[in-house]
Chains A and B, each alone.
Chain A
């Protein structure tokens, strides 16, 4: 677990280093443009061109990093799957348990890499959404089935209230990501014996999706920063809850791209409620 977090931090640090390099280059460019006696127009054009270049370089860098991480991850998760399937001989219970830890950790890394890639697409303006007629009910059921084992393991109860049909035009992959992100956050931040609730229903011409939890909550002063990349609430950091601070940035962007709104109500120690409203079909 600790090493997994270390790798996550390493990736974040690499990104921060790249961003710092970009900012330094930008400041240098600015200093050059402020040189006395220099004509301002060509310098501004130069600055714009340089910024575009840096932006492209950053996006390419993120995309290359995630590509280079995916290849070794394929070997790790692929060979572990062979071992777990007993293709290299029978495993004893202890060995299977250890391999499960590798499976879990590589899944976390895979999710992090995917989030980084999505973030780079959001920033380069190439993160576009498909529009297909979908019924949210099926998505909710699938997401609940997927989160159920993690909730059971954390001894967190799941309570759901879904009133279909919930038709809308949306990108199915992105909708899945939003649901899974909200549910896994809720489970992750809720201690044992707590409850995570999911409500989905139509209200006038909107689909309302609400995820509530009885978890650690978000300090009032920090709630406005929730949709800032790499932001993590101070209580989450203090309690060493893993995460990179990218999930909600992606959720916010997806909801915005779908013409929806997102609201967060929370009190530290008393839980969090996230409400998403999307235009119904």
Chain B
């Protein structure tokens, strides 16, 4: 079976490394980037199965990237999980209205993030 590729975008290097490490340990291939522009470029050129996007990044936010991926036929079907430290309702609504499949709030458990990713992957395969 082909390895599943996951794009991880977070401007905080520690959190990016944390997520990348955990996902790699779980047998996923990871592309890690530090801002929204790079996330968009990697998403378009490498077409990962799933993207984990931090909401607050300098330049393009995770929500901007999500909206742009959904608007482009080539990436519209990509699975998207948003990561955020903001838990006000309107932030969560903003993420879902931009087309995210799931939402994980910081602080999160890496174990839980992996199980959410696996749940999304198995739902999309079914």
Contacts and interface: CB of A to CB of B under 8 A. Distances in A.
Contacts of A126: 88-89
B117 to A, nearest CB: 15
Contact of A67 (B25, B85, B110, B111): B85
Interface of A: 63, 67-68, 70-71, 73-79, 81-82, 85, 87, 106, 110, 117, 121, 126
A71 B15 contact: yes
A46 B44 CA distance: 52
B85 A77 contact: no
Given A78-B109, A82-B110, A71 B85 contact: yes
A108 to B, nearest CB: 12
Interface in B7-28: 12, 14-15, 18, 21-22, 25
B46 interface: no
Contacts of B25: 87
B14 A77 contact: no
B8 to A, nearest CB: 13
A199 B86 CA distance: 36
A196 B102 CA distance: 39
A73 B107 contact: yes
Interface residues of B, number: 20
Nearest to B56: A67
Given A81-B109, A85-B111, A75 B14 contact: yes
B111 A77 contact: no
Nearest to A76: B107
Interface of B: 12, 14-15, 18, 21-22, 25, 56, 85-89, 105-111
Contact of B85 (A74, A78, A79): A74
A213 B86 CA distance: 36
B107 A110 contact: yes
Given A67-B85, A117-B87, A126-B88, A74 B21 contact: no
A74 B106 contact: yes
29 contacts: A63-B88, A67-B56, A67-B85, A67-B86, A68-B85, A70-B106, A70-B107, A71-B12, A71-B15, A71-B85, A71-B106, A73-B106, A74-B15, A74-B106, A74-B107, A76-B107, A77-B107, A78-B22, A78-B109, A78-B110, A79-B14, A79-B18, A81-B110, A81-B111, A82-B22, A85-B111, A87-B21, A87-B22, A117-B87
B58 to A, nearest CB: 14
A87 B111 CA distance: 11
Nearest to A114: B87
A116 to B, nearest CB: 12
